[in-house]
């Protein structure tokens, strides 16, 4: 779509990739509804983009929403409909790095909530409105790790693989309508998303990191050409293809990555496993002799 015709709802707008993407979209002539959790940051971002060029004023709006709360996802759908959006860019996300034993149940749920359930719910809420548009686009910011499972990223990969599956299925479901469904998979990118442990892992494994500006330009390109899927950087793009065709072929290629994941027993203690459900006594829950 030509950016000047686009009215884009952008989640994760206050993030490292989100800020650059907002500026790129607006600079190309689009109107953008910035979505984030901090009113102060959204308002500051909106002001800073407007001060770069006065003609941008009037094409920027912002809305606070916590995408971890289903009610707020639904409300955002209503606000985006009233604002007459025709493009939805899901860039909000949370990281998760570490050996599986070190991730507690609450973190697992939050990663799936923000990275997978929120974009699914927001897309569903906006679908009737998007179907009524002559042309519309839904762009999911996934990850190279939504195509390649790496040691240390099992939970994060599960969320981004899920998102890619959702996007692929929905793209086919909506084929023949005016709605394009797209998935953009950045590789590691220099934002605060990656803490010191991930940066050490990247350094140890020779993993390249892109600037958020490169991701923003890729998202702008995807808005313009409607490409169904796009991954960023070499060798990640090649690995995505190989892994897609013959996943087990690469199984032996990640020894260095495995060794670079902090050991779960490094500090001698694992986090307690949490569960919402009360644990039943062995007599009630099992017939296995002990």
| Shortest Cβ 144–ligand NAP spacing (Å) | 7
Q: Which of positions 195-254 make contact with ligand NAP (CB under 6 A)?
A: none
67 binds ligand NAP (CB under 6 A): yes
* Phi, psi of 138, rounded to the nearest 5 degrees: -125, 115
Contact segment (CB under 6 A) with ligand NAP among 13-21, 128-136, 171-179, 278-286 equals 13-21
Closest CA to 114 of 193, 213, 224, 188: 193
| Shortest Cβ 247–ligand NAP spacing (Å) | 20
Contact segment (CB under 6 A) with ligand NAP among 34-42, 75-83, 127-135, 257-265 equals 34-42
- Catalytic hit among 62, 156, 201, 231: 156
96 binds ligand NAP (CB under 6 A): no
Residue 28 DSSP code: T
- Please give the C-alpha separations between residue 6 and each of 3, 167, 259, 284, in angstroms, as whole numbers: 5, 20, 45, 58
Residue 1 or 94 with smaller CB distance to ligand NAP: 94
- Please give the C-alpha separations between residue 68 and each of 71, 110, 284, in angstroms, as whole numbers: 9, 7, 35
Could you give the 3-state DSSP secondary structure of residue 14? coil
Sequence length of the chain is 290
What six digits make up the tokens of 246? Answer: 């013959």
Q: Which of 63, 102, 143, 218 binds ligand NAP (CB under 6 A)?
A: 143
In angstroms, the first-to-last Cα distance of the chain is 64
Q: Which of 194, 218, 222, 243 binds ligand NAP (CB under 6 A)?
A: 194
183 is catalytic: no
Q: Which of 10, 17, 179, 240 binds ligand NAP (CB under 6 A)?
A: 17
Interaxial angle between packed helices 39-52 and 16-27, expressed in degrees from 0 to 180 and rounded to the nearest 10 = 40
141 binds ligand NAP (CB under 6 A): yes
Element (H, E) at 60: strand 60-64
Q: Which of 63, 102, 157, 189 binds ligand NAP (CB under 6 A)?
A: 189
Q: How far apart are CA 135 and CA 196, in angstroms?
A: 42
Q: Which of 123, 191, 218, 260 binds ligand NAP (CB under 6 A)?
A: 191
109 binds ligand NAP (CB under 6 A): no
* Phi, psi of 142, rounded to the nearest 5 degrees: -95, -130
104 binds ligand NAP (CB under 6 A): no
What six digits make up the tokens of 280? Answer: 């039943």
Give the residues lining the site for ligand NAP (CB under 6 A): 12, 14-18, 36-38, 66-68, 91-94, 114, 141, 143, 186, 188-189, 191-194
Residues classed as catalytic: 156
């Amino acid at each position: 779509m030509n950016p000047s015709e686009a009215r884009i709802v952008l989640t994760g707008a206050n993030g490292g990739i989100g800020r650059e993407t907002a500026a790129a979209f607006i600079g190309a002539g689009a109107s953008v509804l910035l979505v984030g959790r901090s009113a102060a940051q959204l308002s500051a971002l909106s002001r800073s983009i407007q001060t770069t060029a006065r003609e941008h004023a009037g094409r920027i709006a912002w809305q606070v929403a916590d995408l971890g709360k289903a009610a707020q996802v639904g409300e955002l759908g209503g606000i985006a409909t009233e604002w007459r959006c025709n493009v939805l860019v899901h860039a909000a996300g949370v990281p998760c790095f570490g050996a599986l034993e070190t991730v507690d149940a609450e973190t697992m749920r939050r990663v799936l909530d923000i990275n997978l359930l929120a974009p699914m719910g927001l897309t569903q809420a906006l679908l009737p409105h998007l179907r009524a548009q002559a042309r519309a686009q839904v762009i999911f910011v996934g990850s190279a790790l939504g195509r390649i499972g790496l040691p240390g990223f099992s939970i994060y990969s599960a969320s981004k693989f899920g998102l890619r599956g959702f996007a692929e299925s929905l793209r086919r479901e909506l084929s023949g309508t005016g709605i394009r469904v797209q998935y953009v998979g950045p590789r590691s990118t220099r934002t605060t998303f990656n803490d010191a442990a991930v940066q050490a892992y990247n350094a140890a494994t020779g993993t390249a990191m892109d600037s958020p500006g490169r991701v923003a330009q890729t998202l702008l390109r995807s808005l313009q050409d409607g490409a169904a899927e796009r991954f960023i950087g070499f060798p990640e793009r090649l690995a995505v293809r190989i892994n897609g065709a013959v996943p087990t072929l690469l199984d032996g290629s990640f020894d260095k990555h495995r060794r670079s994941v902090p050991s779960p027993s490094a500090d001698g203690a694992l986090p307690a496993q949490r569960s919402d459900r009360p644990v039943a006594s062995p007599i009630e829950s099992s017939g296995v002799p002990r």
